[in-house]
């Protein structure tokens, strides 16, 4: 079973990427759930927690995204179209999450409705990248080899 | 390649968002009086912050005063002086304090804001004490300085009723027996009553005694900007409490009054007035801080609305029933000027035009470009009502380029000779303003 979309040429980078890359996605999904709950019940506990989840997700995303940047673009010709697509989807997702971190610095319900929409876009973009990569790997036996 | 354009477009959009920090369009005076213009509330992307760094006053450097006035330094080297009280024998008490620092960090913004505030000019450590100043007979220059009470807990308000001194810590009111003439409080003191003290986001407890000595009025600030810490910790917050001196029993005298930092009796009508710090982060020109009479049982809107029925959308669930009876404050001072000191002047030293009006110490904005406040203004009163625009009387606390801070005015008082005293918690100084050319060493 394939659980991550890209591999890398360095074994160390590959391992670190495999370890860290799932973490931001999980945190962003949790932030989306918390935002959705806050949008419904207006208990500030949820939106403050969502702000932390989003921020911690961004911090955990730094290393795997840098590994992915090197892997996809150095040199670019060795990467598949799907890998490049996944890179761009993740980049836009991270930018969305950064904007969302600022939106989540507003007080109380000032976060809504933008906060829950930005959380949803962040999750959707990363999810599309994962889905497209998984489909490609499923149709290419053994994935991509060096 | 198409995707590169998308990425570039996103980057440009982000830069525009980041650069789009709004600037204020109104001067405080333009947004003052009974009917201040109130622009539409805005949502921001970057929390607005502009905090000047502290430099303090150079040797011989002073604030600037209005025509016909003179200013001198009567004490320096204090530890964050905030409030002043003149005792019947002419001694002056200086309350030195800062926040107790008990606000838990519950959001990423609080973490970043606390770092920024500590680095700014306003993060000075409070002395948690009261210092007594005494003018040496026939001498000019700084007054004699005695440490009067120590080991207080973020004190702010202080009042004398008869021979009992009341000190409002952030969590209680202490009661001391005062012996006239003493330079060190001989009574260890007892707790008179407790005060709302969870979190203490707004920690100052302003204090004012009634003229008959039967009641104490306490200004209690809210526990948040606009209820973002939940409403359950706002119990008895954003209120003026009335405490019975005989029994220590207290009740809410007025509510929805976000952060009443100074209380005073208007001299002609004898009504209770307050200066109030209004909410932040819906625009550089919102919401003007205000000066208002405090009506018994009155509700002033916080957190649900401001200036009467202007609903704040950040508060959910909303309370249209409360908004409907929210009182519109009497007089706006300008947005984010941060009034922290109120004094109705009744002395005879300053020129006649100041008699019966209110001086207001404005500690200054931390989230507005350009800065506002950082001055002492005068509001004229006629028939018990404020009129005209606030007139800057003492200025020059912030540097001309607004990057550094020499001082910031807080509490005000009048000394035995009718001079206006100003506590400066950034310059750690007490200033004394007199009419130019008056010989203030002799009683008038």
Query: Residue B271's CB: how many other CB atoms inside 10 A?
Result: 13
Residues 6 or more apart from A59 whose CB is under 8 A from it? none
Check residue B124 and give its pLDDT: 74
- Give the distance, in angstroms, between the CA of residue B289 and the centroid of all CA atoms in the same chain: 10
d(CA B19, CA B17): 6
Check residue B223 and give its pLDDT: 96
Q: Cite the beta strand spans of B396-428 per DSSP E.
A: 404-405, 409-414, 420-424
| Chain B CB contacts of A88 below 8 Å | 3, 6-7
| Chain B CB contacts of A51 below 8 Å | 107-109
Nearest-CA distance A68 → chain B (Å) = 16
Is A117 within 8 Å of chain B by CB?
A: no
Is A103 within 8 Å of chain B by CB?
A: yes
| Chain B CB contacts of A105 below 8 Å | 47, 107-109
User: Cα angle at B134 between B407 and B184, to 5 degrees?
Assistant: 105
Mark out chain B residues that contact chain A at CB-CB < 8 A.
3, 6-7, 10-11, 14, 17, 43-47, 106-109, 224-230, 281-282, 313-317
Q: Do the Cβ atoms of B28 and B335 come closer than 8 Å? A: yes
CB pairs under 8 A between A and B: 74
| Chain B CB contacts of A84 below 8 Å | 3
Helices and strands of chain A, counted as H and E runs: 5, 0
Assign A6 to helix, strand or coil.
coil
Show the low-confidence residues of chain B (pLDDT under 50): 1, 12, 15-20, 440-444
Residue in B127, B128, B130, B142 with CA at minimum distance from that of residue B93: B130
Assign B306 to helix, strand or coil.
strand
Check residue B51 and give its pLDDT: 78
Is A52 within 8 Å of chain B by CB?
A: yes
Note whether A107 contacts B44, CB cutoff 8 Å.
Answer: no
Q: Which residue, among B115, B316, B318, B367, would best test binding to A if mutated, counting the most A CBs under 10 Å from its CB? A: B316
| Chain B CB contacts of A79 below 8 Å | none
Nearest-CA distance B282 → chain A (Å) = 9
Note whether B317 contacts A114, CB cutoff 8 Å.
Answer: no
| Chain B CB contacts of A108 below 8 Å | 226-228, 314-316
Q: Do the Cβ atoms of B93 and B78 come closer than 8 Å? A: no
Per cent of chain B over pLDDT 70 is 93
What token pair was written down for B403?
């990057």
Note whether B3 contacts A110, CB cutoff 8 Å.
Answer: no
What token pair was written down for A30?
């949790």
A81-103 vs A44-73: helix crossing angle, rounded to 10: 150
d(CA B203, CA B294): 20
Nearest-CA distance A9 → chain B (Å) = 25
Is A41 within 8 Å of chain B by CB?
A: no
Note whether B314 contacts A48, CB cutoff 8 Å.
Answer: no
Is A89 within 8 Å of chain B by CB?
A: no
Global ipTM = 0.86
Show the low-confidence residues of chain A (pLDDT under 70): 1-9, 140-146
B2-19 vs A81-103: helix crossing angle, rounded to 10: 10
Q: Compute the CA torsion angle B34, B37, B42, B44 (nearest 10 deg).
A: -80
Check residue B18 and give its pLDDT: 47
Residue in B51, B158, B154, B174 with CA at minimum distance from that of residue B99: B154
> Considering CB atoms only, which of A91, A98, A107 is closest to B228?
A107
pTM of the model: 0.91
Note whether A107 contacts B46, CB cutoff 8 Å.
Answer: no
Q: Do the Cβ atoms of B163 and B187 come closer than 8 Å? A: no
* pLDDT tens digit sequence for B234-265: 999 999 999 999 999 999 999 999 999 999 99
> Considering CB atoms only, which of A52, A55, A108 is closest to B314?
A108
Nearest-CA distance A52 → chain B (Å) = 6
A22-41 vs A114-139: helix crossing angle, rounded to 10: 140
Q: Which residue, among B47, B222, B314, B318, would best test binding to A if mutated, counting the most A CBs under 10 Å from its CB? A: B314
Is A51 within 8 Å of chain B by CB?
A: yes
Is A109 within 8 Å of chain B by CB?
A: yes
Chain B residue with CA closest to A115: the answer is B45
Nearest-CA distance A139 → chain B (Å) = 24
């Amino acid at each position: 079973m394939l659980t991550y979309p890209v591999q890398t040429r360095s074994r160390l980078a590959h391992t670190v990427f495999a370890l860290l890359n799932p973490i931001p996605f999980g945190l962003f999904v949790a932030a989306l759930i918390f935002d959705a709950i806050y949008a419904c019940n207006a208990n500030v506990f949820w939106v403050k927690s969502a702000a932390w989840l989003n921020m911690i997700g961004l911090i955990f995303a730094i290393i795997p995204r840098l590994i992915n940047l090197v892997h996809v673009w150095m040199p670019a010709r060795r990467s598949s179209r799907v890998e490049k697509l996944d890179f761009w989807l993740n980049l836009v997702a991270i930018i969305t999450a950064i904007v969302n971190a600022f939106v989540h610095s507003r007080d109380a319900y000032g976060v809504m409705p933008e906060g829950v929409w930005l959380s949803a876009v962040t999750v959707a973009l990363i999810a599309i990248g994962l889905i497209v990569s998984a489909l490609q790997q499923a149709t290419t036996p053994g994935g991509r080899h060096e | 390649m198409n995707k590169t354009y998308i990425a570039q477009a996103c980057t440009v959009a982000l830069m525009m968002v980041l650069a789009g920090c709004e600037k204020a369009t109104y001067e405080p005076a333009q947004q003052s009086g009974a009917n201040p213009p109130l622009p539409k509330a805005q949502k921001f992307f970057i929390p607005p912050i502009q905090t000047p760094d502290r430099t303090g006053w150079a040797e011989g450097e002073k604030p600037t005063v209005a025509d016909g006035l003179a200013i001198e330094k009567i004490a320096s080297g204090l530890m964050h002086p905030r409030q002043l009280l003149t005792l019947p024998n002419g001694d002056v008490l200086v309350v030195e304090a800062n926040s107790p620092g008990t606000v838990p960090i519950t959001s990423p913004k609080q973490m970043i804001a606390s770092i920024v505030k500590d680095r700014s000019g306003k993060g000075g450590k409070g002395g948690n004490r009261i210092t007594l100043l005494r003018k040496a007979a026939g001498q000019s220059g700084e007054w004699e300085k005695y440490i009067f009470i120590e080991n207080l807990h973020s004190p702010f308000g202080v009042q004398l009723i008869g021979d009992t001194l009341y000190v409002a810590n952030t969590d209680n009111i202490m009661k001391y027996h005062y012996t006239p003439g003493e330079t060190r409080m001989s009574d260890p003191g007892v707790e008179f009553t407790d005060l709302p003290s969870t979190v203490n986001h707004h920690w100052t407890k302003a204090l004012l005694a009634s003229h008959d000595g039967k009641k104490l009025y306490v200004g209690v600030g809210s526990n948040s900007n606009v209820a973002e810490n939940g409403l359950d910790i706002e119990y008895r917050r954003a209120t003026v409490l009335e405490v019975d001196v005989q029994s220590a029993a207290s009740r809410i005298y007025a509510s929805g009054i976000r952060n009443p930092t100074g209380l005073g009796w208007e001299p002609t009508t004898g009504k209770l007035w307050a200066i109030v710090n209004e909410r932040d982060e819906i625009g550089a020109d919102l919401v003007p801080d205000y000066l208002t009479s405090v009506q018994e049982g009155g509700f002033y809107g916080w957190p649900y609305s401001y200036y009467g029925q202007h609903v704040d959308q950040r508060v959910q669930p909303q309370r249209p029933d409360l908004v409907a009876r929210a009182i519109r404050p009497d007089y706006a001072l300008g947005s984010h000027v941060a009034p922290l000191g109120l004094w109705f002047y009744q002395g005879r030293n300053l020129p006649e035009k100041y008699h019966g009006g209110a001086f207001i110490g404005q500690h200054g904005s931390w989230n507005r470009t350009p800065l506002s406040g950082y001055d002492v203004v005068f509001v004229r009163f006629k028939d018990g009502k404020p009129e005209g625009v606030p007139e800057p009387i003492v200025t020059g606390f912030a540097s001309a380029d607004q990057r550094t801070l020499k001082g910031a005015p807080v509490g005000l008082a009048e000394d035995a000779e009718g001079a206006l005293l100003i506590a400066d918690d950034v310059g750690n100084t007490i200033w004394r303003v007199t009419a130019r050319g008056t010989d203030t060493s002799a009683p008038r």
